[in-house]
């Protein structure tokens, strides 16, 4: 019996790391390979990827990877996925719009992956991918070339919306292809997997085109330098900042590697137009009067190593912020990033900067549709089944409620989870046996499953420090032959607990005597006994739990 199975590996129950597998007749098409950024408790972790070990096991069955648009939460994991799949089998081709493929190429180049077939698709095309018929449908979002993915199968079309809004006055290009969505609905959409990001907001989202005039109004009131921070991939927003700066006779400096890279790609593809002589380098900012400078910077989400974050902490090598500067946040925090953004804003106020967010002036428009736009999508495509995606569990439920409100039967709405496959055949749709899914951490440039214990150790080190106790014992009888050496780093309140070192040495001696009476000689057992005794002592004295690391040396 022919069937279609849809397996989300990321993006459900969370905002970020979107990844979806669609399987039909034993062949797989991967839709999006995104990442997300670590939360504060993921100490030392740089990036979070979907766990795609299931996909690695099925590497020979992968027909293609299709990317809906160039944002990191849909494209960012591509180099790691390609490297892992290529290790098992030849890397599959990657499909997407021209800008999306240019960004994919740049990202793969950074990882020295240059033998990957990147196919630029036009939204008027329809191509065969094994048992699938692939079509991209033009959508509007906060980046050009955003598309929905329609995968035709024997049972009907699986439509994955990607990120979208129904903007009737987009900054460049036509609005979303509503007529093609309606045609797909008439032809028969088997399953709709729809963006849930803004289902909790009533009405319709604001048009991107309104932001430009408000940016110019804000700029006109600023007497000093202006710093605008936005997503580096929000090319529409960058263009509007450049237009506002041009109207007010200000020069523009691009700060942040991803900002410079994406603007370069946008200019090459005709999405960004910059007047001659407008751009200046970050080191040239001081050569121009403050009232004649606009800086466009990364860091709108408070990312630890981003340009704006480093400016806020006076750690940027090229731009030093000062009293009288105005910082405009032309973005809203992604859920989970609020704390980092607020910390950055507070540091900016400490410097003396004025800070303007979307609460102060309409300097941002979301790229995700609100509740009425989600209803419009449902009514246009009239799907047989609905599975909300791209949202935390609250948003997935709200999306399901909207689907029911427009007439989809409750039994045809599937609130899923990462790793939970939805199988559709002639008998209907149902969830089947769960597959492995979760998170894979990138620490530096290496990919790996950083165990929970490693993250716990990092949190302990960052919060309470470390004790290292070096014990030297006689090989013959296990007795101590020298005073234990006690080393501590990052331990709070040690000045108030100087006598603790003496107690530690007494505890070591007592533990070794007990071990000798029990005839315990194994080094690993001795270290475990010392750890337990010392950890309890330190907690009793300091009410803290630093990492305790005993080292036993036999002589």
Question: What distance lies between CA 479 and its chain's CA centroid?
Answer: 54
Spatial distance between the Cα atoms of 236 and 480, rounded to a whole number of angstroms: 70
* Number of C-beta neighbours around residue 59 at 10 A: 17
Spatial distance between the Cα atoms of 33 and 14, rounded to a whole number of angstroms: 15
Q: Can you list the alpha helix ranges (DSSP code H) found in 358-490?
A: 371-381, 393-405, 452-464
Looking at the DSSP bridge assignments, the partners of residue 149 are: 136, 160
Looking at the DSSP bridge assignments, the partners of residue 407 are: none
Question: What distance lies between CA 350 and its chain's CA centroid?
Answer: 28
Is residue 9 within 8 Å of 54, Cβ to Cβ?
yes
Is residue 361 within 8 Å of 214, Cβ to Cβ?
yes
Is residue 254 within 8 Å of 294, Cβ to Cβ?
no
Angle at the Cα of 285 from the Cα atoms of 284 and 291, rounded to 5 degrees? 140
368 is known as an active-site residue = yes
Residue 522 CB contacts under 8 Å (≥ 6 apart), including other chains: none
Is residue 73 within 8 Å of 15, Cβ to Cβ?
yes
Among 167, 195, 243, 325, the active-site one is 195
* Three-class SS state of 461: helix
Angle at the Cα of 406 from the Cα atoms of 388 and 13, rounded to 5 degrees? 15
Give the N- to C-terminal CA distance of the chain in Å, as an integer.
71
Beta-carbon-side half-sphere exposure of residue 15 (alpha carbons within 13 Å): 13
Is residue 458 within 8 Å of 443, Cβ to Cβ?
no
DSSP class of residue 130 equals T
Nearest alpha-carbon partner for 413 in 433, 431, 394, 391: 431
Nearest alpha-carbon partner for 322 in 225, 223, 250, 251: 225
Spatial distance between the Cα atoms of 142 and 552, rounded to a whole number of angstroms: 59
195 is known as an active-site residue = yes
- For 101, phi and psi rounded to 5 degrees? -70, -30
User: Reading across the β-sheet that carries 485-489, which strands appear in turn?
Assistant: 485-489, 466-473, 547-554
Q: Which helix (H) or strand (E) holds 339?
A: helix 338-351
Spatial distance between the Cα atoms of 455 and 381, rounded to a whole number of angstroms: 44
Among 368, 370, 390, 399, the active-site one is 368
Nearest alpha-carbon partner for 550 in 527, 521, 517: 527
Active site members: 195, 368
């Amino acid at each position: 019996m022919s069937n279609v199975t849809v397996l989300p590996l990321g993006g459900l129950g969370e905002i970020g790391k979107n990844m979806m597998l669609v399987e039909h007749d034993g062949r797989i098409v991967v839709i999006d390979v995104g990442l997300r950024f670590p939360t504060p408790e993921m100490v030392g972790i740089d990036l979070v990827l979907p766990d795609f070990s299931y996909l690695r096991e099925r590497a020979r069955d992968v027909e293609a990877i299709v990317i809906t648009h160039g944002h990191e939460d849909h494209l960012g994991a591509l180099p790691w996925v390609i490297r892992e799949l290529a290790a098992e089998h030849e890397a599959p081709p990657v499909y997407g719009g021209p800008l999306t493929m240019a960004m994919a190429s740049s990202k793969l180049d950074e990882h020295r992956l240059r033998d990957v077939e990147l196919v630029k698709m036009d939204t008027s095309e329809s191509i065969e991918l094994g048992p699938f018929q692939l079509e991209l449908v033009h959508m509007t979002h906060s980046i050009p070339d955003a598309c929905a993915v329609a995968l035709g199968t024997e049972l009907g079309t699986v439509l994955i919306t990607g990120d979208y809004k129904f903007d009737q006055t987009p900054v460049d290009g036509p609005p979303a292809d509503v007529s093609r969505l309606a045609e797909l609905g008439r032809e028969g959409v088997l399953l709709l997997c729809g963006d849930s990001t803004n289902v909790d907001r009533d009405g319709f989202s604001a048009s991107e085109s309104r932001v430009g005039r408000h940016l110019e109004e804000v700029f006109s009131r600023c007497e000093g330098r202006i710093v605008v921070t936005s997503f580096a991939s929000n090319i529409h927003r960058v263009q509007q900042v450049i237009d506002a700066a041009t109207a007010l006779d200000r020069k523009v400096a691009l700060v942040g590697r991803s900002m410079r890279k994406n603007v370069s790609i946008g200019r090459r593809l005709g999405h960004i137009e910059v007047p001659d002589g407008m751009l200046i380098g970050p080191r040239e900012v001081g050569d121009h009067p403050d009232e004649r400078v606009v800086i466009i910077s990364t860091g709108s989400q408070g990312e630890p190593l981003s340009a704006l974050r480093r400016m806020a902490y006076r750690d940027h090598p090229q731009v030093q912020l000062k009293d009288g500067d105005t910082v405009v946040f032309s973005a809203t925090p992604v859920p989970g990033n609020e704390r980092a953004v607020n910390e950055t804003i507070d540091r900016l106020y400490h410097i003396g900067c004025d800070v303007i967010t979307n609460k102060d002036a309409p300097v941002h428009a979301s790229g995700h549709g609100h509740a009425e736009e989600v209803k419009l999508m449902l009514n246009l495509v009239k799907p047989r089944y609905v599975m909300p995606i791209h949202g935390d569990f609250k948003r997935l439920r709200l999306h399901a409620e909207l689907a029911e409100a427009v007439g989809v039967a409750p039994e045809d709405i599937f609130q899923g989870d990462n790793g939970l496959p939805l199988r559709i055949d002639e008998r209907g749709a149902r969830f089947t046996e769960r597959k492995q899914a979760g998170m894979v951490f990138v620490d530096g440039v290496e990919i790996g499953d950083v165990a929970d214990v490693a993250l716990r150790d990092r949190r302990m080190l960052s919060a309470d420090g470390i004790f290292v106790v070096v014990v030297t014992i006689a090989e013959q009888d296990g007795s101590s032959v020298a005073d234990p050496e006690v080393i501590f780093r990052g331990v709070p309140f040690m000045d108030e607990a100087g006598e603790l070192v003496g107690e530690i040495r007494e505890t070591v001696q007592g533990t070794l005597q007990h071990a000798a009476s029990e005839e315990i000689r194994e080094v690993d057992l001795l270290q475990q006994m010392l750890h337990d005794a010392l950890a309890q002592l330190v907690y009793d004295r300091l009410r803290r739990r630093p990492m305790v690391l005993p080292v036993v040396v036999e002589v």
